[in-house]
Structure 1
């Protein structure tokens, strides 16, 4: 599939995960000859995380399709304004409007079990007092994050979580790239971390091409990599010059 006009896919993981969560999706995309990059998402705040991902995209020669999982969806909404980004793919993700925060979007709908199972910790900030970051209580992680992933895998994922700065929930999006770039969205219909209604609302508001995966948990990229890669491939084909 690769030629000079095939976009590079940049996979942006969300909170409580890392780039390895895309492993199955990466393998599928590579089998189809699609260039792919899965950078680390710093998880320190919407503006700074988006700036980092935008810098990754801007340094890629040629067009880019950004795919974001969970909080990564908020990141690609802002970073997608980068000139060479030609498409956005939201995977069980937040699809923010400009001027909107994660908390505001979530607040429109009943809260998922995630909120009651977040564990707070402090982390140092240079030149300032400690800040707060959150992870999912390990005992609640399998049901909330990865109910359709084998138990032996979730035991590892639960203790390998990457925490999200709590301030990310109140930062507002500086822009909404879906207003000028085509978008696609996968709704994980059995998600216990982000209410599927939140996913549907944001995707429909963005005018995204939407697919739903019945029975899929929040960790849909781990449990259903072919479904996720299939939607990304659709976006790649649609945006290839």
Structure 2
């Protein structure tokens, strides 16, 4: 049946998997998921452990193997996770969408990448690191700094809720280099570049997206773009899904 919604596709499509980054959980995708589901897309939004790069990638890969084929979407830290070689090794992923997200190359770590260009406000005075039982640490943004650094264009009440419900990341994960060829070298990719981002500055987002050959969409938004501009984010994901469906249909013809 032909759909007329601009977010939808005419052909058999992949499941859209929305992966959250550090300092948030899957709820960051609520607005995006609602729009995609209303357009008839199949959507999943798993939670990441946020303990280490390899562990997050292995956890996600196990989810993907049960869902494929997949259009895989990552926000922020999740960009590093979906770039991991373990993701490509599943054979389940048809396309990647990076939403204000890291796109590391082999041997690069997310933390060092974010220091390559000036502008990030993910700096020590804005962060809290707390030891956890059993070893390791939890890293979060100071709640009073969350809105300015992460969600400056989100409604203040909503930003305040995000600030007090952060999901912490193990800071050592940000220093872990990508252990092999990134998935984006062999898969088509899209990138949403947020021009008002104070967490991952626009310069590093553009650098990574251009290097990866991603199809770039720039939007005047903060790092919390899935929350503040779910319409644009959903539209980019739908475009990727339509492209995958068109390729699949051509191969079957």
Place the TM-score, normalised by the shorter chain, in its bin.
Answer: over 0.9
State the SS of the aligned residue for 2:97: strand
Aligned pair count? Answer: 235
Structure 2 residue 216 is the aligned partner of structure 1 residue 210: yes
Three-state SS of the structure 2 residue aligned to 1:108 is coil
Secondary structure of 1:9 counterpart: strand
2:64 to 53, 57, 65: 57
Match of residue 139 from structure 1: 144
- Shift in Å, 1:123: 1.4
Distance (whole Å) between structure 2 residues aligned to residue 111 and residue 102 of structure 1: 15
Matched, 1:105 2:103: no
TM-score, with length taken from structure 1: 0.94
SS at match of 2:133: strand
Q: Which moved more, 1:76-85 or 1:165-174?
A: 76-85
Is the contact between residue 119 and residue 198 of structure 2 (CA under 8 Å) also seen in structure 1? no
Can you give the 5+ residue segments of structure 2 that lack an aligned partner in the other structure? 1-7, 249-253
Superposed counterparts of 1:146-165, under 5 Å:
146-165=151-170
TM-score, length of structure 2 as denominator length? 0.90
The answer as to 2:203 corresponding to 1:197 is: yes
Please give the root-mean-square deviation of Cα atoms over the aligned residues, in Å: 1.4
Matched, 1:28 2:35: yes
1:118 aligns with 2:127: yes
Question: Is the contact between residue 9 and residue 241 of structure 2 (CA under 8 Å) also seen in structure 1?
Answer: no
Q: C-alpha deviations, 1:158-188, integer Å up to 9, x for none?
A: 1100001011111111230010000000011
CA distance in 1 between counterparts of 2:149 and 2:66 reads 36
Contact 1:2 1:35 (8 Å CA) reproduced: no
| SS class of match (2:143) | coil
Q: Equivalent residue of 1:49, what SS?
A: helix
- The SS at the match of 2:140 is strand
The answer on 1:67 being equivalent to 2:73 is yes
Structure-2 residue corresponding to 1:80: 87
Q: Secondary structure at 2:144's aligned position in 1?
A: coil
Structure 2 SS opposite 1:140: helix
Q: Could you give the per-residue CA deviations for residues 94-116 of structure 1, whole angstroms, max 9, x where no partner exists? A: 11102211123123211511223
In 2: Cα distance, 1:198 partner to 1:141 partner: 20
Find the residue that maps to 2:64 and give its secondary structure. Answer: helix
- Segments of 4+ moved more than 6 angstroms: none
How far, CA to CA, are the matches of 1:150 and 1:12 in structure 2? 22
